[in-house]
A and B are shown apart, each in its own frame.
Chain A
Amino acid sequence: MTDTKKSRHYESSLPMVSRRNFVKSGVLGGVAAYLAACDTNTQEEFFAKRFTELTPEALKERIAWLEKHYEKTYGEAFKVGTEGPIPDVLFGYALDLSRCVGCRRCAYACVSENNLSRDPQVHYIRVLEQPKGTGLDLHLANPYYERDHVPEEGHVYLPVACQQCENSPCERVCPVGATWKEPDGVIVVDYDWCIGCRYCMASCPYGARKFNWGAPKMTTGDSLAVKVLSAKPKGEGRFEVIVEEALDAPERLQPPHIMPTVVKRPFLDAKGNRFMTETLPVADTNPAARSTTRYRFEVVAKEAPATSSKDDEYGYFLDAVNPDTHYLGNRPRKKGVVEKCHFCLQRTRNGEYPACAEICPVGSRKFGNLLDPDSEIRYVLANKRVFVLKEELNTRPKFFYFFGV
């Protein structure tokens, strides 16, 4: 009995309110400590609003903050655009399977244009090599083919990225509304709102959504340095430049004979000058010396790139981030969020083609406005044998495949 009384006394003497306060302050303190330990971007994001709910003033503030933050992080001036959809425009894409050679230039152009992670590798475009005569049985497809030359005899190539479905399962399932369809038909992700639950990835029939499993690394930092062999002026601040890649670099590129360079791909020389390529890189492999690979392309620059005078002098780092970004497009992402192809919003909303369409060496990629009856894409839809992937799922893609020849 005495024991019981003692324990009762003990119980009632426990100040319940202060215990609750203790728990409360513990939880709040934990959150505060977590936020304090995080980098400033996470703190800013924690209180960031959904893109669709930002007032124009708040958006302006957010953009200013982001641009400053990116400049601090990546060491160069960033532009984070917020261009809205163009009125009376519905973007559509068509891909000519009879032309595609499976060179994967599109996939790598996308990587540099859209600031995709190089390590771990994230690709929006997956090119499937399919044995001819197997229809579209994707279980026989190989996305990891490595060929010295493409196309490989007896195979067709099927590049797959986001199909920008009109009836999109991914948008439907998102528990927090972090992904939606823009009026120009593009499905976008608010990288500051996504919680990383990956339900959208489970729902996507095309494997188009990518998760940042680790912290995205947009520059590999080392290597991929090239030696400038010559730089000839071509008028109007353009130079034709021939470079030779470092000895071990080709192995790093998949497949090895392809230069992962994109139109308007930015890169820096040893002095920190920014150069922009403006035409397709042309592979010019030196067959006599398989260990080196030469490339010829045009750059836009104020002054001629310095050519190397010594054998071991490497001038260019090809791994630069693309500072020309869009809030819902290619601005840098963080680990733990989902991302996907957005038809290069930063380009297409400013009247340019997506990087993949622009770089395609065989012209198999057609992009345009589905609402414009005179557009090339409408011509394709009206005159070619067109199909969409997994039609039976009623996703109604705005990405079409066709056989042009």
Chain B
Amino acid sequence: MATMVLFVLIGASAYFGQVTDGLIRTGMRDQVSWGFYIGNFTFLVGVAAAAVVLVIPAYIYDWKPIKEIVLIGELLAISAIIMCIAFVMVDVGRPERTWHFLLPNFPRSLLAWDVLVLNGYLAINALVAFHIMYRGYFGKPYNKKWVLPLVLLSVPAAVSIHTVTAFLYSGLAARSYWNTAILAPRFLTSAFCSGPAIILILLQILRRYWKFDIKDEALHKIAELMAYAMFINLFLLGAEIYREYYSDTHHLIHHEYLFSGLHGHMSPVAPYAWASVIASTVAFLLFLIPKTRKNFLTLNIGAVLIYFGVYVEKGIALVIPGFTPSMLGEVYEYAPSFTELQVAMGVFGVGAIVFTALLKTALPVLRPEDAVGPAAEAAAEASA
């Protein structure tokens, strides 16, 4: 926790410098006008959306082993959305004017839509999570009558946040790298990998240190779902690569920048791009084969590889090649500046603090022996 507070302080001081001097403190310029911040934003939208992977089987099919962990997924979604909003806030040139979003350019701007769906998704998850926690505090079951419709609503809402974010990119005819119909499906499938990857590791930590009751079966089921998602994700990536390289038009240049480089020297993103593809493929195999899926060592290696693979895919390999070369053919080699790294660290710190605080509040609900207040009294009375 102290480390997280330190991260936030470092991030805050770097952000203060950025506000004072302007975004010139970042590595972004007119040629590559979005960078690390928007990449992180895109990745975290996926993490937030991924809560539905757990929600769907838990509520629709009433699949018991996963049901308890849905709350954790929702808390993760809340923290991820807060980080998303923070990454947009640190990226804008005039943060004090973000209230102008209250007078949006509807319905034409996809960014205006994105603000709407992100906040809507945050509101739904916050309502459900806080309701369950509030009722749990008094030792009562949550009110199914209005939680269930909200949970069902959160499924399309989760799909919508990632779809709208994908449309935000794919609607730009000028950027051939993004202007592809399979961008939204790719976003969704990669999200269904990265979000659960975090949850997989998180649940094991909870289980080990807080003696939280989670069955192996639930973890393996999540890993199985991730294997399917990763297969579709890799397939879509392959389809994209085939189209670009076989048709060999001018538009190929962005993929060349991504995987090799231009004008005879390797681009700084190429090693990351290859590492991402390899990590995702290895993880897919680990999760596909039942033996490695059910072995916790290989399962955890797979989760880390997936997290890395998708983080690079969304954080680096999506944004930067979209801008390189620029619209007038210029190659500006973007790399995040120290300020950007520090600010991002701060945002992740905020996310971690929010998540820890939410989780600690929720724990008594999830684990009856930790219950405090009326819930504990009720439990004590029941046992007496």
Contacts and interface: CB of A to CB of B under 8 A. Distances in A.
B373 A8 contact: yes
B325 A139 contact: yes
A382 B372 CA distance: 83
B351 to A, nearest CB: 19
A128 B328 contact: yes
A195 B23 CA distance: 13
A156 B211 CA distance: 72
Interface in B1-55: 21-24, 26, 28-31, 33-34
Contact of B92 (A38, A128, A172, A195): A195
Given A8-B373, A11-B373, A211-B23, A335 B173 contact: no
B92 A215 contact: no
Given A35-B96, A176-B112, 9 more contacts: A7-B372, A174-B105, A195-B93, A195-B101, A197-B91, A201-B30, A207-B31, A212-B22, A215-B22
Contacts of B91: 197-198
A160 B326 CA distance: 13
B357 interface: no
B113 to A, nearest CB: 9
Interface string A133-147: 000011111010000
A158 B112 CA distance: 35
Given A169-B172, A214-B24, A207 B372 contact: no
Nearest to B108: A172
A403 interface: no
B33 A198 contact: yes
Given A4-B376, A193-B97, A173 B24 contact: no
B237 interface: no
B92 A207 contact: no
Contact of B111 (A34, A141, A197): A197
Contacts of B96: 34-35, 38, 42, 46
Interface string A188-205: 000001111111011111
A210 interface: yes
B110 interface: yes
Interface residues of A, number: 59
A194 B172 contact: no
Interface string B65-93: 00000000000000000000000100111
A213 B25 CA distance: 8
A207 B93 contact: no
Nearest to B23: A213
B175 interface: yes
B105 A205 contact: no
B248 interface: no
Given A139-B253, A204-B327, A194 B105 contact: no
Contacts of A169: 172-174
B144 interface: no
B100 interface: yes
A357 to B, nearest CB: 21
Nearest to A126: B328
B109 interface: yes
Contacts of B112: 175-176
Interface of A: 1, 4, 7-8, 11, 34-35, 38, 42, 45-46, 50, 120, 126, 128, 137-141, 143, 160, 169, 172-178, 193-199, 201-207, 209-215, 334-338, 390, 393-394
A46 B111 CA distance: 21
Interface string B154-178: 0000000000000010011111000
Interface string B238-262: 0000000000001001000000001
Contact of A213 (B24, B105, B325): B24
Contacts of A34: 96
Given A138-B328, A204-B174, A206-B327, A193 B100 contact: yes
A335 B103 contact: no
B380 interface: yes
A48 to B, nearest CB: 9
A50 B372 contact: no
Give the interface centre of B34, B94, B322, B326 by most chain A CB atoms within 10 Å: B94
Given A173-B109, A177-B105, A199-B111, A207 B30 contact: yes
B319 to A, nearest CB: 9
Given A8-B372, A175-B111, A197 B92 contact: yes
A202 B33 contact: yes
A205 B30 contact: no
A203 B97 contact: no
B327 A205 contact: yes
A204 B30 CA distance: 11
A4 B250 contact: no
A211 B30 contact: yes
A188 B374 CA distance: 61
Contact of A175 (B22, B115, B250, B322): B115
Interface string B346-384: 000000000000000000000000001110110010000
Q: Report which residue of B174, B322, B376, B380 has the largest number of chain A beta carbons within 10 angstroms of its beta carbon.
A: B174
Contact of A195 (B98, B110, B376): B98
A195 to B, nearest CB: 5
B104 interface: yes
Contact of A196 (B92, B108, B175, B253): B92
B93 A50 contact: no
Contacts of A206: 327-328
